[in-house]
Amino acid sequence: MNTTTMVLDKVNNTEDLKKLSIEEMNILSEEIRELIMKKVNTTGGHLGPNLGIVEATIALHYVFNTPQDKLVFDVSHQCYPHKILTGRKEGFTDPDKYLKYSGYTAPEESEYDLFKVGHTSTSVSLAVGLAKARDLRGAKENVIALIGDGSLSGGEAFEGLDNAATLNSNIIIIVNDNDMSIAENQGGLYSNLRELRETNGKAENNFFKTLGFDYYYVDNGNNVESLINVFKEVKDTTRPTVVHIHTQKGKGCHNAEIDKESYHWILPGTLSNNNQETSNIESYESITADYILKKRDEDSTIIAITPATPGVSGFTKEFRSKLGKNFTDVGIAEQHAVAYASGLAKNGAKPILAVMSSFIQRAYDQLSQDLALNNTPATILVFWGGITGADATHLTKYDIPLISNIPNLVYLAPTNKEEYIKMLDWSTSQREHSVIIRVPATQVISTGIDDKTDYSILNKYEITEQGSEIAILGLGNFYQLGKDVKKLIQEKLDINPTLINPKFITGLDEELLNSLKNNHKLVITLEDGALDGGFGEKIASFFGASEMKVLNFGAKKEFTDRTSLEELYKRYHLTPELIIEDITKSL
Amino acid sequence: MNTTTMVLDKVNNTEDLKKLSIEEMNILSEEIRELIMKKVNTTGGHLGPNLGIVEATIALHYVFNTPQDKLVFDVSHQCYPHKILTGRKEGFTDPDKYLKYSGYTAPEESEYDLFKVGHTSTSVSLAVGLAKARDLRGAKENVIALIGDGSLSGGEAFEGLDNAATLNSNIIIIVNDNDMSIAENQGGLYSNLRELRETNGKAENNFFKTLGFDYYYVDNGNNVESLINVFKEVKDTTRPTVVHIHTQKGKGCHNAEIDKESYHWILPGTLSNNNQETSNIESYESITADYILKKRDEDSTIIAITPATPGVSGFTKEFRSKLGKNFTDVGIAEQHAVAYASGLAKNGAKPILAVMSSFIQRAYDQLSQDLALNNTPATILVFWGGITGADATHLTKYDIPLISNIPNLVYLAPTNKEEYIKMLDWSTSQREHSVIIRVPATQVISTGIDDKTDYSILNKYEITEQGSEIAILGLGNFYQLGKDVKKLIQEKLDINPTLINPKFITGLDEELLNSLKNNHKLVITLEDGALDGGFGEKIASFFGASEMKVLNFGAKKEFTDRTSLEELYKRYHLTPELIIEDITKSL
């Protein structure tokens, strides 16, 4: 790239932007693109969505008077150009400040960012609220929601559109149609979007018009001038309005234009290494994919499901292609995904739905009503559950409180490969329970010995190392931490604690727990998730009226935001040393 | 009504139905209607939805080969005619058996009922699952979802439709359009449904066609013959198909035809008393409505919101009319309702969203991401939270585990009118927190003395009666139970326990709890909700490593189904006598 980014030097805020000529804005687009590629190639991050939205972001800030006019980003992983134009360009020009700003909109960074957002399909509803509040206050600003075509499949987006259409005042919804979700788009809606693109917005069938919106179409959504013209036209409209813009995801980066899925989000260095080697190391993702393929060869009713996030679970393009009709990507539609799985199970198929911990949150009621209440034998795999240093919008520590307090569900926590496979075997062969497995979010641990456990005997914990005085319940990911704690207790306190692998998150092994009373005085619980509403509290409640002391270890109830795991483990006392300190205090 | 139901006598199952002439089916429709009115007027229940769907139910069972062909009801509160035709007519003809069958579909009653369903907007997703499983198995049955127009606004329904449209095989979605949700329909979609009704299904704008469905319209959805003709036409279709039928809600009952909202669900006796007196007894619903009206007169940014269930919160027609633009019914769209409230609060308005405990479940991710993460100062009122003898689909005991484990949210539990009003005052005047209030699900208790608590000091419990040895934490609805327990302890155990009103569900008053250690040895917690993931477990965990014993009282994690409250209180030890027994054991 050019080392002198001439136009951007003049642009420190949106006022500066308004002084540029169209030609300068075209140059600025290229400059921003170069900066984003360089930055993302260094830190990793969302590439394709940001490259596609550069011109639209410039045109929006050129035409509208942000932040008085209010701009809400859906998911907000396409906000990098916006950040560059709203006082935060140092986060892209200065490598030392690459990590200073969040990859999502963040009100604490700038008044141009309205909401902290990272889950999809929320922007329209939030914008309807902003617009209605404006009307109640008698104010006049424009309210704009920027939503990608992929996010439109999410139910919350539809609820928002349905309501926005009746607002009877100013709301402008920019539909950024790049013909892609993270992977390919799925759903009937997308055939209509295609029809609209192919007819330059003139097709008789028009989803947005059926809901009552005024409708505008921009075929070249990467042309600043076209965008400016349309945005000027709709500015200060008094009607709910959709501007459907056709953009190119990954624009300006050859590989990202060709392989939109792989370059949606990239790891550091992806753009500099032309041929990244595919990792051949076994992972729980690869174990899952291999398992499903093998199982499908034996049973044609096995069906794998993803809600638009195949990468989370190792559902590669090759895997999907091999599965064929035994695979469904439902699009961004977690609610449907769960109910769909329930319907499949009810009618004799064996669905395996894979979903990231943070996104299963979008389907609580479906887990409860469509699934648990009906005891349909679907299998749900929750990936990435655990405490992480992620953004506040993508925390994965709430799945245990979310799932484990719903009746009937069997939520399992394997601690190694063999347990995981045995649990999959059991779940897909039984017809009595809805089973959820918290796939270990660790490196693969293999005992090399087949697990012989009969998981149809629910809530049976395993004492893996019998000892006395202290019992350690190491749940799932934290079973290994339990082992480390045991070792340190032996060294430091001259006590040989009992180590227990609970395996079942959703129930208490009352017999085993009662038996501990004989020769233990302290039980400690270790869970890789939020304590509030989680596993450990149930153990504490169980022993509440007894002489047994209980210490619960896990995460505090708080939204952390890109806080390092090291810092979190320190804060939550999740190292063997800190755990021993707490044990010593309570003995 | 006629005492001899001539045609129905011949119809004991769907095979019998297939032998009837059109004329007999017309008579049968009237007979079924009469039975439903008589039964519902005795037991209470859903009236309007069932009266409207009689002919369609007859036609469906006449044309299709249920239960081989699979029929999924949305919400299923319109399944009474279906139950009458599928072997359960005694539940409507024999007053002694009026309570034998559930008011919703129930697989345990009949193979004709596929799912236990009571929340809206799920049928299409469930049906897509059934259809896909059929295809994987190589079977050929028809799969039919019956969904009301009101349910179409729910996001899960849209996710389902979007996916159903791409199924590329047989799925038939009957849209039962009676131009009503529980109250009036809300949303842009309904203008399209109206357009379709007014053009006999021929309007150019067609929501269903934009998604890719084959589309059929039946203008008289209460004409058996018309329905049979269309159903015969679509039977065994190999394409995703929508049959849009225009029915009359409440048909055959004059009052229910005129006032569709009031006769959606009725209390026993409603049809026999021509002029039911409106109750003038003060309730938490009337207190809420009065509060909002008064507040709005002082502040034009106050806005009340309901997700299509105004009756839950006392938002009467008069109330709604008085509020005018300061009221929004978003339709069945809980996800949108929460995000909308967040947007309103962000832009300076003061939203008050009222929702039933069982339905707030549909918005977990929005509570977490759109609301809590952004700390927007919206007020949410959760109505009817507590243990009840309701249907399994409408339990209201899970709101505490659902809400209280989400960071940032302040969830309050008032125990009387004055606390409730003070909490409302605080919530609507502050700008720092998203506040949820669990409106007491009890008769109104009034102290007559203004509550002076400063709720901006979070997590401060109140010791209302100082004692020793035993401390009773009586949360919200169960504070009165706490008082009764205290009294019985004094009588039976000669101990004067401390009584505490926690008020805050979402945090621990660590200072107060620690102070109890001085002169108490047992803490008991009482909560009107599920124990798992709830309030009491957190108290148990807090005291886990201390000498303090803790007993948690509340509901077990289980779906109960029309089990009497008396039985549940006995099962969960929620009477003073049973509580004392447990206390005695642990002392």
The confidence score (pLDDT) of residue B278 equals: 59
φ and ψ at residue A411, rounded to 5 degrees: -110, 120
Categorize the per-residue pLDDT at A1 as very low, low, confident or very high, splitting at 50, 70 and 90: very low
Of B160, B211, B344, the CB nearest to A192: B211
CB contact under 8 A, B550 and A541: yes
Spatial separation of the C-alpha atoms in residues A559 and B373, rounded to whole Å: 7
CB contact under 8 A, A336 and B187: no
Categorize the per-residue pLDDT at B5 as very low, low, confident or very high, splitting at 50, 70 and 90: low
Spatial separation of the C-alpha atoms in residues A438 and B526, rounded to whole Å: 32
Query: How do residues A120-177 score in pLDDT, each as one tens digit?
Result: 999 999 999 999 999 999 999 999 999 999 999 999 999 999 999 999 999 999 999 9
Task: Please enumerate in sequence order all residues whose Cβ is within 8 A of that of B259, keeping only pairs 6 or more positions apart, or say none.
Answer: none
Span A345-359, average pLDDT: 98
Spatial separation of the C-alpha atoms in residues B211 and A144, rounded to whole Å: 25
Query: How do residues A236-255 score in pLDDT, each as one tens digit?
Result: 999 999 999 999 999 999 99
| Alpha helices, DSSP H, located in A324-474 | 334-346, 357-360, 364-365, 399-404, 417-429
Q: Is B64's pLDDT higher than 50?
A: yes
CB contact under 8 A, A347 and B135: no
Domains belonging to chain B, first-starting first, are: 6-261 (3.40.50.970), 284-438 (3.40.50.970), 462-586 (3.40.50.920)
The confidence score (pLDDT) of residue B273 equals: 76
- Residue A412 half-sphere exposure, CB side, CA atoms within 13 Å? 28
Task: Please state, rounded to an integer, the average pLDDT across all residues of chain A.
Answer: 96
The confidence score (pLDDT) of residue B1 equals: 45
Task: Please state, rounded to an integer, the average pLDDT across all residues of chain B.
Answer: 96
Strand boundaries in B91-197, DSSP class E: 143-148, 171-177
> CA of A571, closest CA in chain B: separation in Å?
16
CB contact under 8 A, A407 and B162: no
CB contact under 8 A, B532 and A134: no
Q: Write down the pTM of the prediction.
A: 0.97
The confidence score (pLDDT) of residue A273 equals: 76
CB contact under 8 A, B188 and A211: yes
- Residues in chain B with CB shorter than 8 Å from the CB of A374 are 107, 115-116
Task: Please enumerate in sequence order all residues whose Cβ is within 8 A of that of B301, keeping only pairs 6 or more positions apart, or say none.
Answer: A133, A136, A137, B348, B349, B350
Q: Is A278's pLDDT higher than 90?
A: no
Categorize the per-residue pLDDT at A417 as very low, low, confident or very high, splitting at 50, 70 and 90: very high
Q: Is B336's pLDDT higher than 50?
A: yes
Determine contact, residues A369/A406, Cβ cutoff 8 Å. Answer: no
Q: Is A277's pLDDT higher than 60?
A: no
The confidence score (pLDDT) of residue A5 equals: 59
Q: What percent of chain B has pLDDT over 90?
A: 95
Span B131-147, average pLDDT: 98
Strands A549-555 and A520-530: parallel
Which residue does chain B place closest to A141, by CA atoms?
B347
Which residue does chain A place closest to B154, by CA atoms?
A159
φ and ψ at residue A10, rounded to 5 degrees: -85, -10
Of B156, B205, B540, the CB nearest to A541: B540
CB contact under 8 A, B343 and A126: yes
Please tell me the least confidently modeled range out of A276-290, A393-407, B87-101, B235-249: A276-290
Please tell me the least confidently modeled range out of B100-109, B182-191, B228-237, B449-458: B182-191
Among A137, A152, A163, A164, smallest CA distance to A237 is for A164
CB pairs under 8 A between A and B: 411
- Residues in chain B with CB shorter than 8 Å from the CB of A301 are 133, 136-137
Determine contact, residues A395/A438, Cβ cutoff 8 Å. Answer: no
Spatial separation of the C-alpha atoms in residues B556 and B529, rounded to whole Å: 9
Helix (H) or strand (E) holding B520: strand B520-530
CB contact under 8 A, B162 and A189: yes
What is the 8-class DSSP label of residue B48?
Answer: H
Q: Is A346's pLDDT higher than 80?
A: yes
Spatial separation of the C-alpha atoms in residues A327 and A147, rounded to whole Å: 27
- Residues in chain A with CB shorter than 8 Å from the CB of B392 are 373
- Residues in chain B with CB shorter than 8 Å from the CB of A72 are 343
Query: How do residues B198-215 score in pLDDT, each as one tens digit?
Result: 999 999 999 999 999 999
Of A161, A339, A345, the CB nearest to B122: A339
- Measure the N-to-C terminal CA separation of chain B; round to a whole number of Å: 63
Other residues' Cβ atoms within 10 Å of the Cβ of residue B87? 15
Q: Is B362's pLDDT higher than 70?
A: yes
Categorize the per-residue pLDDT at A475 as very low, low, confident or very high, splitting at 50, 70 and 90: very high
- Residues in chain A with CB shorter than 8 Å from the CB of B300 are 136-137
CB contact under 8 A, A188 and B163: yes
Of B134, B164, B325, the CB nearest to A347: B134
Spatial separation of the C-alpha atoms in residues A55 and A28, rounded to whole Å: 9
The confidence score (pLDDT) of residue B186 equals: 75
B208, with CB counted inside 10 A (0-12, 13-18, 19+), is buried
Which residue does chain A place closest to B190, by CA atoms?
A211
Print the SS3 string covering A463-528: EEECCCEEEEEECHHHHHHHHHHHHHHHHHHCCCCEEEECCECCCCCHHHHHHHCCCEEEEEEEEE
The confidence score (pLDDT) of residue B203 equals: 96
Span A243-271, average pLDDT: 93
CB contact under 8 A, B205 and A209: yes
Q: Among B342, B537, B556, B558, pick the best mutation site for testing chain A contact (most A Cβ within 10 A).
A: B537
Span B297-320, average pLDDT: 96
Query: How do residues B274-284 score in pLDDT, each as one tens digit?
Result: 545 556 799 99
Span B120-124, average pLDDT: 98
B346, with CB counted inside 10 A (0-12, 13-18, 19+), is buried
> CA of A130, closest CA in chain B: separation in Å?
5
Categorize the per-residue pLDDT at A181 as very low, low, confident or very high, splitting at 50, 70 and 90: low
The confidence score (pLDDT) of residue B187 equals: 85
- Measure the N-to-C terminal CA separation of chain A; round to a whole number of Å: 63
Query: How do residues B179-199 score in pLDDT, each as one tens digit?
Result: 876 667 778 999 999 999 999
- Residues in chain A with CB shorter than 8 Å from the CB of B136 are 300-301, 303, 325-326, 344, 349
Is ipTM > 0.95 here? Answer: yes
Q: Is B565's pLDDT higher than 90?
A: yes
Q: Is B304's pLDDT higher than 70?
A: yes
Q: Among B130, B151, B163, B361, pick the best mutation site for testing chain A contact (most A Cβ within 10 A).
A: B163
CB contact under 8 A, A559 and B373: yes
CB contact under 8 A, A162 and B156: no
> CA of B196, closest CA in chain A: separation in Å?
10
CB contact under 8 A, B126 and A346: yes
- Pair of tokens at residue B209: 């066609």
